[in-house]
Amino acid sequence: MTGANEKVRFYAPAVLLVAGALGIGTRLVLLHLSLVTAHTKQPNYGFTRNTQGCRGTIYCMDGKEVLAQTKTVWDYHVDAQAAARDPVNPKKPIKPEVRREKIRTLADVLQIPLLQVMDAYAKRDPNDPSKMARYVKLVTSDDDGIHAVLSDPKRRFKELSITERQVRVYPQGRRLSHVVGFVSKDPTNRVGGAGIELRYEKWLKGTPGTVRGTRIATGGEARVRREIDVDARPGNDVYLTIDPNIQYEVERALAAGVASNKAERAWAIVLSVKTGAVLALANLPDYDPAQYNKSPDSTRFNGAISENYEPGSVMKTITACAVLNERIVGPDTMISTARNDPNYYRLPGDGSHKWEERMSVREALVHSSNIVYGKLGVDLGPKRLWTYMTNFGLGRKTGIELPGEETGIIPNWNSWDKVKWSRAPIGQGVAVTAIQLANAYAAIGNDGELLRPFLVQKVVDPDGAVLYEHQEKEVLGHPIRPETARKVREMMLGVAKKGGTARRAAVKGYSVAGKTGTAQMKEGRGYSQTAYNASFIGIVPASRPEIVILVTYQKPAYCRSFKLSQETGLPLYNHQGGVCAAPTFSRIASAVLRYMAVAPDIPEEIDPDLYEDVPEEDNNQP
Amino acid sequence: MRRNRRVKKHSRFKSGATGMAALIVSSFIMLMIYWTLDSQCTSILRDIGTAENKLKALDAEYGRENARWNAMKTRERLDEKITRFGLAMQSPHPDQVVRMTAAGEPAPGQMSVARARARAKTGNMALASPRTRRQARR
């Protein structure tokens, strides 16, 4: 063996081995340092996946109940074309018995009618009836058991495709639909469409995530080559001031009232006097937010904040506050009830009521005399009356956190004609919203301090950090002095007592400071003779106010002649506030005050037997 | 004595076989180490992917269960169950109510307290309020 041969036999494989090793090593180094990127530019290797952040949850007060949340569901679709082929040999058509058995099994698993599955399997392509359809929806389900069975990789239903998506659900159904709102069903634009869902869209919306990476030849992902990996982040949670128990009572009472009064619409508000928090806000008719597109537009109208309406006699309380605060009159000042008083221009009428020749300011409020309060308004003057109205927040948005709030219509005083001088004090010729009225009455209950009503308690991020929290109370002004407020509340006590316009508003054990309103609705250039807004607003308990409750029925069944109850002697079927709205107020107030554990301020009314002359030692014995 | 000895002539070629062999073996060993580590990384990354998918699935399942639970405990459903199982409660009868002052003493003048004590002492229903007597008769 020559040396040359040995050399060749040695060096040749050695060189090949070393060259191979060097080549592989170089390639590995370049790959790890990401200096080689040529293959990722090929579109079938790189991918980008966007993930949608879950929308935040809307809660009632203190998270007691969930009003709106997001969950994932699965859409099950069947490919009718693939279903027509034999699963083992796709070139052959499926055997009829196999097909029947599949349909039956699928219907059992999905818990849907057999006919529905049969129709899906037999569906033709609408664009080409000679072919079977490719994508027929069977059902949407959130059942984990069904999904586990049908998503098994070894499943028999290869023609079934399962798509996961997020949906917005509203566990309370129609309750609080006008407050919560809804989310659009448009898959390309899932944004809030009304209520809190709209107003707090930017807080509730989740942050999308992105993954950009590379696939390997087998189709899996080269995890180490991920370029972007940002997790989707859920939206923030919104907590409302609504108390679910109070809301439930209000909605039940309102629904019963709409049925009995045959009203077209109704709304009710419960407001905390001390803080301005909205404890309940209900509208009828309502709608299901999950099916908002199937309900008429009129059902989605939030009358409590968006309806400008003439308040009628409930405005007399504001007029009373103004005249007492200005010290023009006192509660017991006597005023003539004569309509044809030459000192006043075209006073309003008092209907069929027959009054004494003179009446005190207090009595005029209790009996709701248009003539007396028309005169008081004229004596006060339009400028001062307008100032008090606006200082009470009427004619301005309250700033409540709902979209679509109306401002009301309180024209500037220097545009008032002489007729309006005596009409505005009794709530005609001006328009307000229910939330403005409730807030104004809350100021009377709060000793003259006007607060901003609010609906949102706080906003919390997914980690629990509080992003926004409402401060205790926001004072907007002091339209009247505290003693004026107390005097007016004391005057209003008579409304819910015998002789007042709203005996039915009485709440056993509690003093009620309230006012009725029966306002004709506008019709053309005049007023309707049969369409009314019947209202009652009350502050309870009057001695130490906790809440204001406003109830309004729009277009209750009109009854011109009183049909009296044989039992009570009171009208049974009438459009007036004292008959329509007052009983609803009483029902709501008695339930809510008991729920809030507010001590009665007239306990002897609960049972007169309870309070008799009993020797003190009987009660003081241990 | 000189013998004809065959002397093996060694080739002058020094192949450096030991060094080359060492280089090749060490390269092979490094390659094996790399391959092992790479396999482990791939396996770990696969586990991470699986865990991520499982977390996502569990989150979604939690959301669905939460939604189901919230739908079950709405006021309407609770009311329906309470009515069905006779769990509804009523407000207490006035004779069952004792009002206390802030000092923790019974508020003066309450018939319910006097009557309750007298009734307990004597068992005399005549001392009960008219309403209580009506209920007892029923």
The tokens for A285 are: 């008719």
A354-358, A440-444, B113-117: range with lowest mean pLDDT = B113-117
| Radius of gyration of chain A measured on its C-alpha atoms | 36
Is B74's Cβ below 8 Å from some Cβ in A?
yes
Nearest to B111 among A17, A21, A610 (CB): A610
Instruction: Summarize the confidence of residues A283-290 as an average pLDDT.
Output: 94
B31 touches chain A (CB under 8 A): yes
- Which site among B64, B93, B105 would you substitute to test the A interface, given the most A Cβ atoms closer than 10 Å to its Cβ? B64
ipTM score: 0.77
Instruction: Tell me: do A267 and A135 sit in the same domain.
Output: no
Domain of A489, CATH number, reads 3.40.710.10
Q: Do B67 and A594 touch (CB under 8 A)?
A: no
Nearest to A71 among B45, B63, B131 (CB): B63
The CATH number of residue A95's host domain is 3.90.1310.10
**Residue A195: pLDDT above 70?**
yes
- Point out the least confidently predicted range of A96-105, A609-618, B119-128: A609-618
With CB atoms and an 8 Å threshold, state whether A175 touches B74. yes
Mean pLDDT of A287-315: 94
- Look up residue A112 and give its amino acid: I
Domain range list for chain B: 19-82
Give the tens place of pLDDT for each residue, A435-462.
999 999 999 999 999 999 999 999 999 9
pTM above 0.80, yes or no: yes
Q: Pick the last residue of a domain from A109, A144, A170.
A: A170
Which residues of B are less than 8 Å from A244 in CB distance? 75
Residues A298 and A160 in one domain: no
Looking at the 3D structure of chain A, how many domains does it have?
2
pLDDT tens-digit profile of A78-95?
A: 988 888 888 778 788 888
The answer, for B57 touching chain A at a CB cutoff of 8 Å, is no
Residues A458 and A543 in one domain: yes
DSSP string, A333-365: -EEE--S--TTSSSPPP-TT----SEEEHHHHH
Rounded Cα gap, residues A287 and A240, in angstroms = 20
Cβ pairs bridging A and B (under 8 Å): 118
Q: Is the domain of A540 the same as that of A445?
A: yes
| DSSP letters spanning A549-599 | EEEEEESPPP-SS--B-TTT-SBSS--SHHHHHHHHHHHHHHHHHHHTTPP
Q: Is the pLDDT of residue B83 over 80?
A: yes
Report chain A's mean pLDDT, rounded to a whole number: 87
Residue written as token pair 């529905």: A116
The answer to whether A142 contacts B27, with C-beta atoms less than 8 Å apart, is no
Digit-coded pLDDT (tens) for A143-190: 988 998 888 877 667 888 899 888 999 999 999 999 999 999 887 778
**Residue (of A253, A283, A241, A282) closest to A588 by Cα position:** A253
Cα distance from A275 to chain B (closest Cα, Å)? 25
Tell me what pLDDT residue B109 has.
64
Mark which of A154, A170, A186 sits at the end of a domain: A170
Higher pLDDT, residue A584 or B135: A584
Boundary of a domain, candidates A155, A170, A185: A170
Do A566 and A479 belong together in one domain? Answer: yes
Q: A237-271, pLDDT tens digit by residue? A: 999 999 999 999 999 999 999 998 899 999 999 99
User: For A24, which residue in chain B has the nearest alpha carbon?
Assistant: B31
Is the Cβ of B19 closer than 8 Å to some Cβ of chain A?
no
What are the tens digits of pLDDT across the range A202-236?
Answer: 999 999 999 898 887 777 777 777 888 898 899 99
At residue A620, the pLDDT reads 34
Q: Are A453 and A435 in contact (CB under 8 A)?
A: yes
- State the pLDDT at residue A621: 32
Q: pLDDT (tens digit, 9 = 90+) per residue, A505-543?
A: 999 889 999 999 999 898 888 888 888 999 999 999 999
Distance of residue B113 Cα from the nearest chain A Cα, in angstroms: 6
- B66 — contact with chain A (CB < 8 Å)? yes
Residue A151 covered by a domain: yes
Residue B71 contacts A, CB cutoff 8 Å: yes
By the 8 A CB rule, do A216 and A227 touch? Answer: no
Rounded to whole angstroms, the Cα distance separating A212 from A228 reads 5
Asked if A274 and A151 sit in the same domain, the reply is no
The number of C-alpha atoms within 13 Å of B131 and in the hemisphere containing its C-beta is 12
Domain that holds residue A324: 244-609
Least confident of A293-302, A437-446, A571-580, B11-20: B11-20
